[in-house]
C-alpha cells in the first residue's frame, strides 16, 4: 500500500458496539474526498459484537494538506463520539501497523469510577480523599505523596470492603468487546492501573486481559495498614 510513489496511505476507522450511523456515512465519505483522498475504498468487518468500518485511501504526498484538515477531522471525531462511535485516523506507514500489545488504564477508563475514591467514600473518608486530590491537582503534592496520603486514610479498613467495592465497579460499554477483539488478533491486553489489586481484582475477572499491573495495599491480618506494599 505504501509502495505507490507520490501517494501517502490514509485510514479512518469507525468502531461501534451497535449499528453504524448509516445516515452519516455518505457525509463522512464526502469529507474524506474534500480532504484530498483518492482511490478510496471501504471495508466492513465484525469482531464479536463490534461493527467496524475502515475507510482507506491515499493523499498526494507533494500536495500540502487541506487547510481545514484538522478542523474537519476534529468535527468528525466529535460527532461520532457523541453517537457512541469510536474512531481513529492513521496516516503513512502507521495505516498497516498491527499492535502486539495494548495497554489500558483502569479508573475512569475501562471502568466508570475512580476505585480508590469509591473505597474512601465507603469508609467515610470521601471528603478528605477529595481534598488530597485537589491539593495534588494544584501542584501542592506529587502523585506518589498524594497516593500515600489517601491510602493512609484507609488504615484499619477490612480487606473484605475492597472486594465489595470491586464487585460494584462498572465496566464501560464496549470495553470487553474491544479487548476481546484485540486478543483475537494476537494482541496482548494489559491493564496498567494506579489503583489497587485488592479493589480491582473482582472486576478484572470479567475482562479478557493477559496481564494486570497495579499497586497493592499493605495488609496485616485482614485489614489495611494504611501503607502501599
Catalytic residue check, 105: yes
Catalytic residue of the set 68, 107, 188, 229? 107
DSSP string, the chain: -TTSTTEEEEEEEEEESS---GGGHHHHHHHHHHTT-EEEEEEEEEETTEEEEEEEEEEETTSPPPTTHHHHHHHHHHHHHHTT-EEEEEEGGGGG---SEEEE-IIIIIBSS-HHHHHHHHTT-HHHHHHHHHHHHTTSS-HHHHHHHHHHTTTT-BHHHHHHHHHH--BPTTHHHHHHHHHHTT-EEEEEEEEEHHHHHHHHTTS--SEEEEE-EEEETTEEEEEE-
Question: First and final CA of the chain: distance in angstroms?
Answer: 50
Compute and round to an integer the Cα radius of gyration of the chain: 22
Q: In 10 A of CB 92, how many CB atoms?
A: 14
Q: What are phi and psi of 141, to 5 degrees?
A: -135, 145
Phi and psi for 4 in degrees, rounded to 5? -75, 115
Note if 49 is an active site residue. Answer: no
Q: Which of 105, 142, 188, 210 is catalytic?
A: 105
C-alpha cell belonging to residue 68: 481545514
The residues that are catalytic are 105, 107
Amino acid at each position: 500500500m505504501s509502495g505507490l510513489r507520490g501517494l501517502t496511505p490514509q485510514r479512518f476507522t469507525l468502531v461501534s458496539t451497535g449499528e453504524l450511523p448509516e445516515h452519516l456515512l455518505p457525509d463522512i465519505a464526502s469529507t474524506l474526498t474534500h480532504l484530498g483522498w483518492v482511490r478510496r475504498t471501504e471495508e466492513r468487518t465484525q469482531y464479536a459484537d463490534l461493527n467496524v468500518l475502515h475507510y482507506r485511501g491515499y493523499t498526494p504526498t507533494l500536495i500540502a494538506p487541506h487547510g481545514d484538515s484538522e478542523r474537519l477531522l476534529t468535527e468528525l471525531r466529535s460527532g461520532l463520539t457523541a453517537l457512541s462511535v469510536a474512531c481513529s485516523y492513521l496516516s503513512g506507514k502507521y495505516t498497516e501497523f498491527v499492535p502486539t500489545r495494548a495497554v489500558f488504564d483502569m479508573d475512569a477508563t475501562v471502568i466508570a469510577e475512580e476505585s480508590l475514591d469509591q473505597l474512601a467514600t465507603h469508609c467515610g473518608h470521601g471528603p478528605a480523599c477529595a481534598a488530597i486530590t485537589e491539593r495534588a491537582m494544584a501542584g501542592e503534592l506529587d502523585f506518589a505523596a498524594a497516593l500515600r496520603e489517601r491510602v493512609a486514610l484507609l488504615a484499619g479498613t477490612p480487606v473484605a470492603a475492597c472486594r465489595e467495592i470491586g464487585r460494584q465497579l462498572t465496566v464501560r460499554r464496549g470495553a470487553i468487546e474491544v479487548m476481546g477483539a484485540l486478543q483475537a488478533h494476537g494482541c496482548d491486553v494489559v491493564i496498567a492501573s494506579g489503583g489497587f489489586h485488592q479493589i480491582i481484582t473482582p472486576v478484572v475477572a470479567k475482562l479478557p486481559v493477559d496481564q494486570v499491573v497495579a499497586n497493592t495495599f499493605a495488609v496485616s491480618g485482614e485489614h489495611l495498614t494504611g501503607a502501599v506494599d
